[in-house]
Structure 1
């Protein structure tokens, strides 16, 4: 199945797709925002990573910010109709100028949506401002008193988190007026939870479109309770990886796809800075250096045992000016509103493109062949991912975790 055929299917079914999304969005708490990384192999279009606290808003195109602001306003009015003041709670990356630009862009979008927007956190209390690439970001005095967040001595109407909570719940954060919900932070969340929820919706959408759901999602599994500094654990994991690669190879052969599959090995705790391995066979894991092995481990954990997400490596068919390319989609209130492209001249079509050698380009900077895919299949799988985030939160509220296993 190639991309033109997929395109025809989605256009023929667009009214049914739109009606389906209206129904499903009414059933779950939609995330205020999120971003996804997508791989498009022509014969498969899949979300390979989903961020509930997205950075990178500085990469969105200026002409897309109005849509982002409109969707943000609709979400806030629906969830918090009396809100007039949004306080943005960022990460503590005080020296990361690109991240500062991201915070400035979010603040601009919130203000454009019609709200007062302040920025700060107790962790940044020693700074009056942060230096971005385009100038300073002014911080407001932010403190936590009796677990209530005060900004310039007053309590904001809503706190917008742009902090993934990988270190745990932050001071002054309560669930009453905080979005995204703090229980979706990486102190509790697992990547596999997202893909399990995504599978639920992908199967329904594939049935509606009368296609194999394999074309809309990367295969995956979780290898539990593995300790990579023990040979016995590595051997068992390598065997599981070989069996999984064999399954993908069989699917390739059945569909006439002439290439050797790879898998991405990730820690199931999707925290900032953890490594990703690209493997073509299990034995590569057995010769893994200690340095690479430690990058896969969750450094803040007291436990040596980890769960690992093994994900089908979907190759990208997208190239531009000698770069290997993958789309990044930014969404607000469950709807795709901005697209840009991660490009990497030093990486192959099966590699992880998110490396220091990557650059970003927005839709106006790339070939129309790439952007033509944005409003159909890329939009579809991205918006399925936002439904999955809502389902994650819904299921967590029914079966709350205390996070004690992370201590």
Structure 2
């Protein structure tokens, strides 16, 4: 199943796909050399937008959810990647503790935990789920419609180690974005690996830092591939927080104007007839803070007065990248999952309406696993660009790995141990 594009501007994206296929050996060598110098995030999910004339990541999660949407055919990839990741970190690992988001409620959250348990259990680990939610006082079993169940127990700290009763893990896998900041229970651990590290949480992380790192990666990759890095990069500007509301809004207006100006120049350069728009996101918070779409800089005061701006004094203004892909008439946004340095699968986030592709995760979205026309997920050299699902997925995977590499730069820049040495 290859989604079709509703735009006539399919030439550039097919040319980009062909360039990546032709340069596959050089691309893979480029990544190998990068991973010799940088440690990949333990796992990520990367939201992509395919506008027909460019393909760009618009969000990179370091605590990815939605693993239960992956197909059974993708599970071996995830298990092998989990094995490789754990072997690098703790070859003698036996026990793994998964720390989920607080306030587990929805069946999808529970199904997500069940899938992560399955992946790491098949990778050869004893896996249990321990919550740091202070409201969870006793072990609770959640049932799924397919008969599976997930037991969630209160995490315990004994001296400087975190675990459960009669369960002492050497590795702790965070699947919790830590919106309230690093909890004391997870700080200063003794001989336990915490993945991802605490600085991956939103009290430290900044979207603007990630986009700067991604732009650096994109420029170097674009030079290697011989393309304009704008074809894989959304133009972004951060609005520095001022001490007063007036100063904050002044900075936001400047960032909006800069972004619109640069995008219009690129549209003119490439002969793109679409009307540009920007997306305003909280720079220092996850998706729960919301996003705002702005199609004209003159409408910013209205956006502010209506209370639609994200609840933050720190904003990122990002070039809006339309989603021109459709599956069965629904908007289809690719989401690519990685673990260690490997792409392990992907899904389409489907929207029945016409408001998707605007940088937000609209309510009412559904998820459809990326399906393949062939029994293999390897790219097929020689196929016409756009005609092969594995080829299109290879292009998605390359851009997702660029975002993953940018995240590794980002984590290095905020590593407390590295900052102490600086």
2: CA distance, partners of 1:239 / 1:336: 37
Contact 1:275 1:292 in 2 (8 A): no
Q: Is 2:98 the counterpart of 1:84?
A: no
Q: Is 2:249 the counterpart of 1:237?
A: no
Contact 1:234 1:285 in 2 (8 A): no
2: CA distance, partners of 1:80 / 1:64: 24
Give secondary structure in 1 for the equivalent of 2:199: helix
| 2:396 counterpart residue number | 378
- How many Å apart are 1:235 and its aligned residue? 5.0
- How many Å apart are 1:148 and its aligned residue? 2.6
Give secondary structure in 1 for the equivalent of 2:48: strand
RMSD: 2.4
- How many Å apart are 1:188 and its aligned residue? 0.6
| 2:174 counterpart residue number | 161
The one of 151, 158, 163 equivalent to 1:145 is 158
The one of 258, 281, 303 equivalent to 2:296 is 281
Q: Is 2:273 the counterpart of 1:258?
A: yes
1: CA distance, partners of 2:157 / 2:131: 9
- How many Å apart are 1:312 and its aligned residue? 0.4
Contact 1:60 1:362 in 2 (8 A): yes
- Of 61-70 and 241-250, more deviation after overlay is shown by 241-250
Change (3 A) 1:109 1:257: same
Matches within 5 A, 1:32-51: 32-51=42-61
Deviations 1:337-395 (A, max 9, x none): 10110110123364245122211111228998683554332111101111111111222
- Of 91-100 and 122-131, more deviation after overlay is shown by 122-131
Give secondary structure in 2 for the equivalent of 1:393: helix
Deviations 1:26-83 (A, max 9, x none): 1111111110000111221111000001011111111101110101111110111111
Deviations 1:189-216 (A, max 9, x none): 1111111111121111101111111111
1: CA distance, partners of 2:390 / 2:83: 28
The one of 114, 119, 122 equivalent to 1:112 is 122
2: CA distance, partners of 1:320 / 1:375: 15
2: CA distance, partners of 1:195 / 1:171: 29
Deviating above 6 A after TM superposition, structure 1's stretches of 4 or more consecutive aligned residues are: 365-368
Contact 1:235 1:286 in 2 (8 A): no
| 1:125 counterpart residue number | 137
2: CA distance, partners of 1:10 / 1:287: 43
The one of 58, 69, 93 equivalent to 1:59 is 69
Matches within 5 A, 1:244-393: 244-288=259-303, 292-293=307-308, 296-298=310-312, 306-348=313-355, 350-352=357-359, 354-364=361-371, 371-372=389-390, 374-393=392-411
2: CA distance, partners of 1:289 / 1:320: 35
Give secondary structure in 2 for the equivalent of 1:169: coil
Change (3 A) 1:127 1:89: same
| 1:180 counterpart residue number | 196
| 1:301 counterpart residue number | none
Contact 1:31 1:389 in 2 (8 A): yes
2: CA distance, partners of 1:232 / 1:181: 34
Structure 1: segments with no counterpart, 5+ residues: 299-305, 402-407
1: CA distance, partners of 2:396 / 2:127: 31
Contact 1:66 1:112 in 2 (8 A): no
| 2:377 counterpart residue number | none
Change (3 A) 1:223 1:390: same
The one of 205, 228, 232 equivalent to 1:216 is 232
Contact 1:131 1:137 in 2 (8 A): yes
- How many Å apart are 1:400 and its aligned residue? 4.0
- Of 101-110 and 229-238, more deviation after overlay is shown by 229-238
Give secondary structure in 1 for the equivalent of 2:185: coil
Deviations 1:290-344 (A, max 9, x none): 6634x6114xxxxxxx221000001112011121111000001121110110110
The one of 209, 212, 225 equivalent to 1:193 is 209
| 1:303 counterpart residue number | none
Change (3 A) 1:31 1:328: same
Change (3 A) 1:335 1:189: same
Structure 2: segments with no counterpart, 5+ residues: 1-10, 375-385
Change (3 A) 1:158 1:128: same
